[in-house]
Amino acid sequence: MIRNDAESAEWVRGLSSEGAERERAATRLHEIALRVARAEVHRRSAQLRISGPEADDVAHQAAADAVLAIINKVGQFRGESRFTTWAYKFVIFEVSAKIGRHFWRTAPVSLETEDWARLPDRFGFEPAQQAQWRDLLAALRRAVEQELTERQRRIFVAIVLDAIPLDTLVIELNSNRNAIYKTLFDARRKLRASLAANGYLDPDTPRWP
C-alpha cells in the first residue's frame, strides 16, 4: 500500500531541503521524537530499573540518535505508512538499543556463567513436581551440550539460563538482533527434534497457529 498523504510529503520535503526550512523540520521532528522516546521509556520503566533524570537521559539520547537516522534515511521513505509512523519506528528501535546497553551496566552477568539449577525456574516448573520433569530437563541439558554448536550453546545459555535480554546480547557479542535470533531459532529447532527423537515431545504436532 503506497500512500502519498500531504503531511508525509511535507515532512519529506522539509527534511530533504536546506537552510531554515530543513532546520524547522528537524527541530519539529526532534520535539516529536523526544515525546515518543519519553513515552516509550516510561512504558518500559520496569525493565529499565531507572527513573527520573537518568530515564530522561536515555530518552534524550534515543531521540537524538533516531533523528539523525531518520534524516540520513529520509530518501528511503517509500510512503507505505504515514511518515510519522515510519519515524516513530526509529525512535522505538533506539529506545530498545539504549535499554539493552543500560541492562549491561546495571546487571552485569558473565557470559561464562552456566547455572543449570536455574533451568526449571526459567520455564516455570514447580519444584514439588520434580519427579515429573527431572528426566525431561536432563535430556534438554544433554541436547544443549551434545547437539548445539558452540555459538548456539552460548546464546542458549545467555538468554535462557542467564536471562540476558536479546538486545543486550547483541551489544555484548557485537552482532545484530536478526543474527542472534536466527542462531537461537536454529538451536530451538535442534533441541525440539532431539527431545522428540527421545520420546519427550510429540514429533509431529505443529503448535504454531
Partner 1 sequence: MNGWSALQRFLDTDPRDAGCAEAMEMLHVYAELVASDVEAARLYPQVAAHLLACGPCAEDLAGLLAAIRENLER
Residues of this chain that bind partner 1 (CB under 8 A):
1, 32, 35-36, 39-40, 43-44, 80-82, 84-86, 88-89, 91-93, 95-96, 120, 123-126, 133, 136, 140, 160, 165-167, 176-178, 181-182, 185, 188-189, 191-192, 195, 201, 206-209
Given a contact cutoff of 8 angstroms between Cβ atoms, the answer to whether 34 and 95 are in contact is: no
* Comparison of 19 and 188: residue with beta carbon closer to partner 1: 188
* Comparison of 87 and 154: residue with beta carbon closer to partner 1: 87
Shortest distance (Å) from residue 28 CB to partner 1: 9
* Comparison of 126 and 145: residue with beta carbon closer to partner 1: 126
What number of other Cβ atoms are within 10 A of residue 3's Cβ?
12
C-alpha cell recorded at residue 191: 533441541
* Comparison of 146 and 178: residue with beta carbon closer to partner 1: 178
Whole-angstrom distance, CA of residue 129 vs CA of residue 1: 52
Could you give the C-alpha distances from 53 to 38, 42, 59, in angstroms and in order? 11, 12, 10
C-alpha cell recorded at residue 41: 521509556
Shortest distance (Å) from residue 112 CB to partner 1: 23
Given a contact cutoff of 8 angstroms between Cβ atoms, the answer to whether 11 and 25 are in contact is: yes
* Comparison of 91 and 154: residue with beta carbon closer to partner 1: 91
Shortest distance (Å) from residue 150 CB to partner 1: 20
Whole-angstrom distance, CA of residue 204 vs CA of residue 5: 48
Given a contact cutoff of 8 angstroms between Cβ atoms, the answer to whether 152 and 188 are in contact is: no
Shortest distance (Å) from residue 108 CB to partner 1: 20
Whole-angstrom distance, CA of residue 185 vs CA of residue 38: 32
Shortest distance (Å) from residue 6 CB to partner 1: 14
* Comparison of 70 and 154: residue with beta carbon closer to partner 1: 70
Shortest distance (Å) from residue 90 CB to partner 1: 9
Helix, strand counts (H, E) of the chain = 10, 0
